[in-house]
Structure 1
Amino acid sequence: MSAENGTNGTPDTPAGPRPEPIRFYGTTWVDHGNGYSARRIALAAGSLAAAAVSCLVLRFAYEGLRIADVGGFVSLLMVVMFAVCSALAFRHTWSAFTTRPDPDRQASLRGLLAIGFVGSLLAYFLRSLTEAPGEKLHRAEYETAREQYEKRTTRRSGNPSKKRRRS
């Protein structure tokens, strides 16, 4: 059952494109209402805390390798692998906030992004300091959709049968 305004059976929702929700924010990014600032602060703190805990877990893994005496090469290889994967994950996550990632490339990088999760968490933290991650991209797409909708609806005004014919 749809929500109606009770006067003439028309829906309460405004006509035109609807904003795409952002994870953890919903559509509060449009007008920055309903606890938007508190969510940004909480998610920034949460992603920083998760990155810190993740680094601690990686430190325990490194200590485990040292205790197992696997050798300096393997320990160095693990450190380099996590550093490179984290740097690549940071760059990929950061660029995904401004442009839509290619789904095929995203699928092929899934393993790398899983290994470099610390970089993704840090990118999320840094973006949360200025805006909801992905807000700029969503806002640009939403504004473009609104402009296109406005052009389509204003162009159709008037009775087409009374249109003057060019001779």
Structure 2
Amino acid sequence: MTEEIRPEPVRFFGTTWVTRGGAYWLRRVAVSLGALATTVAGAFVLRFAVGGVRLSKSGGFVDALLVLAIAVCSFLAAVRTWKQLAEGRDSLSGWMAEDRSLGAVWLIGCVGSAAAYFCRSLVEAPGEAVRRAAWERETARAAQRKAARAGRPEKRRKK
């Protein structure tokens, strides 16, 4: 019985990193442009939020504090997204892991997350490195299992 391990498709690309096909580059450009548009739209929405606070005339300190909070949340979300796309969800540990109490930070930092997704899509299809590493691990494990079975002739069935 032959064990064949097939790579999983990359999200939004409908193909694996092994068999990219002709439309891969077109999809990659479309995903990059979509992430850039999302980043711009998110920044636009956050600009309206900051403008609304400024209209309340609450003072320069509150305005600066709001802008700082948005910048910190965007930075944290960008770092988390980059790490997740480059190394996988399993690499997130501690405060970066799925913590429901940090949901507001990730929501406010959506611009940073979209920007990280855009930058990662310029390097490769987001998540491609994670899929490639998982496929290589599974292929190595399958080769080890096959070598272990081949090295034990007493376990083979006699015909």
Task: Give the TM-score normalised by structure 1.
Answer: 0.78
Q: 1:106 aligned to 2:94?
A: no
Aligned to 1:48: 36
**Which segments of 5 or more consecutive residues in structure 2 lack a partner in the other structure?**
none
Q: Which has the higher helix share?
A: 2
**Which segments of 5 or more consecutive residues in structure 1 lack a partner in the other structure?**
1-9
Question: Structure 1 residues 28, 20: CA separation in 2 closer, same or farther (over 3 Å shift)?
Answer: closer
Q: Distance in 2 between matches of 1:55 and 1:159?
A: 62
Question: Structure 1 residues 28, 19: CA separation in 2 closer, same or farther (over 3 Å shift)?
Answer: closer
Out of 129, 139, 143, the residue aligned to residue 150 of structure 1 is 143
Contact kept in structure 2, 1:29 and 1:36, CA below 8 Å: no
- For residue 158 of structure 1, report the CA deviation from its aligned partner: 8.2
- For residue 87 of structure 1, report the CA deviation from its aligned partner: 0.8
Q: Distance in 1 between matches of 2:130 and 2:114?
A: 19
Aligned to 1:124: 117
Contact kept in structure 1, 2:80 and 2:92, CA below 8 Å: no
Aligned residues between the structures:
151
CA-to-aligned-CA distance 1:107-143 (integer Å, 9 cap, x gap)? 2243321111111101110110120112112101201
Percent identity over the alignment? 43
Q: CA-atom RMSD, angstroms?
A: 2.5
CA-to-aligned-CA distance 1:55-87 (integer Å, 9 cap, x gap)? 111111111112222222221111000001111
The one-letter code sitting in structure 2 at the alignment partner of 1:107 is E
Q: Which has the larger radius of gyration?
A: 1
Q: Distance in 2 between matches of 1:60 and 1:124?
A: 23
The one-letter code sitting in structure 2 at the alignment partner of 1:61 is A
Out of 108, 115, 135, the residue aligned to residue 115 of structure 1 is 108
